[in-house]
Amino acid sequence: MSDSCRLPPCDAGADGELRPPAPSAVLQVVRMRAAGRTAVEDEVLEEVPVALSYNGVSHAVMLATPSDLEDFALGFSISEGIVSAPQEIHDMEILPGPDGIVIEMRIATPRFLALKDARRTLAGRTGCGLCGVERLAQAIRPVPERPKAGAPIALAAIDEALRQLPHWQPLRELTGASHAAAWVDAGGQIRLVREDAGRHNALDKLGGALLRSGLPVAEGFVLTSSRASYEMVHKAASIGATALIAVSAPTALAIRTAAAAGILLAGFARPGQLVAYTDAERLSGELPSADASRTFM
């Protein structure tokens, strides 16, 4: 591997065991302005290959920021339907190495057998004439419809969370490169945030953290610093969220999925404004006027 592609070094603890690298690195850069060029140090966000392995079988390799990896593994396992509850993951070990990080999980036998069957089915269809049609159908997984509408959400609570969010993003403050996913309670207070170079990874990390926390997920809402794709809606639904607020745009598929699942979806959220795409009747009160003195994102 050339120097230009070298992965960040793993740290060795006092016991000699390798630790995952830091989520950011200090690198030499050249800053250019009208006044000239300056060689300076800059904090840059890391991303490394992370392999998710179940009962010794590698399932997926993702590029992720090496922080909150336990939350990431749990959230990914839930959102992808590999397990249905944290208790079905019996053991988890994070194994850093020179080529990346392996997260080895031991899951319940019925879940592992189902995972093996799914993998075997996909492998067996590669030679069939209509396998593309079936794979396309599998790309859009159903989201369970909620039996009742989620709780009302005060517009003032969303506005307050938007004001708070930049102060909960230390990696973004350092590097300018990370996405954030936050869980916000009914009063507009951010209770949990996770960051990552990837927006899906950030939401998976948040999902894992929420599942561990015992917080009443359905009584608040998820706030993301990114756009809202179908996958973001699906991941939010998989952890029991009833509302997803995004600072950027949703896709049409995300809107249809949210409507089918009974999830409130809003986008273009800024202090003093947002666009509601589904379940707008659940938004109560009025948005405060945008304050030009506030800083956002």
Query: What token pair was written down for 60?
Result: 């997926």
Residue 127: predicted pLDDT: 39
- Assigned CATH for 153-284: 3.40.140.10
Q: Which of 34, 76, 40 shows the shortest CA–CA distance to 59?
A: 76
Are the beta carbons of 44 and 27 closer than 8 angstroms?
yes
45-95: per-residue pLDDT in tens? 999 999 999 999 999 999 999 999 999 999 999 999 999 999 999 999 999
Topology (CATH level 3) of domain 1-125: Ubiquitin-like (UB roll) (3.10.20)
Residues 6+ apart with CB under 8 A from 153: 186, 221, 243, 264, 282, 283, 284
Q: Write down the pTM of the prediction.
A: 0.88
DSSP 186: T
Beta-strand relationship, 24-33 and 48-54: unpaired
Q: How far apart are CA 215 and CA 35, in angstroms?
A: 51
Give yes or no: 5 in active site. no
DSSP summary character for residue 149: P
The single residue of 5, 10, 128, 131 carrying the catalytic annotation is: 128
Half-sphere exposure of residue 271, counting CA atoms within 13 Å on the CB side?
A: 16
Question: Has residue 289 got a pLDDT over 90?
Answer: no
Res 128 pLDDT > 80: no
Span 68-77, pLDDT tens digits:
999 999 999 9
- Using H for helix, E for strand and C for coil, what is the string for the chain? CCHHHCCCCCEECCCCCEECCCCEEEEEEEEEECCEEEEEEEEEECCEEEEEEECCEEEEEEEECCCCHHHHHHHHHHHCCCCCCHHHEEEEEEEEECCEEEEEEEECHHHHHHHHHHHHHHHHCCCCCCHHHHHHHHHCCCCCCCCCCCCCEEHHHHHHHHHHHHHHCHHHHHHCCCEEEEEECCCCCEEEEEEECCHHHHHHHHHHHHHHHCCCHHHCEEEECCCECHHHHHHHHHCCCCEEEECCCECHHHHHHHHHHCCEEEEEEECCEEEECCCHHHEECCCCCCCCCCCCC
The structure tokens 């010794």 sit at 56
Q: Write the CB contacts of 219 (distance below 8 Å, at least 6 apart in sequence).
A: 151, 185, 186
Ranges of each domain in the chain: 1-125, 153-284
User: Binning pLDDT at 50, 70 and 90, where does residue 147 land?
Assistant: low
- The pLDDT value given to residue 154: 97
pLDDT of residue 1 exceeding 50: no
> In 3D, which of 54, 17, 76 has the Cα closest to residue 196?
76
Token pair listed for 81: 């339907």
Q: How far apart are CA 20 and CA 12, in angstroms?
A: 9
- 231 — pLDDT class (breaks 50, 70, 90): very high
Is residue 265 within 8 Å of residue 278, measured between CB atoms?
yes
pLDDT tens digits, residue range 242-277? 999 999 999 999 999 999 999 999 999 999 999 999
Alpha-carbon 58 to chain mean position:
21
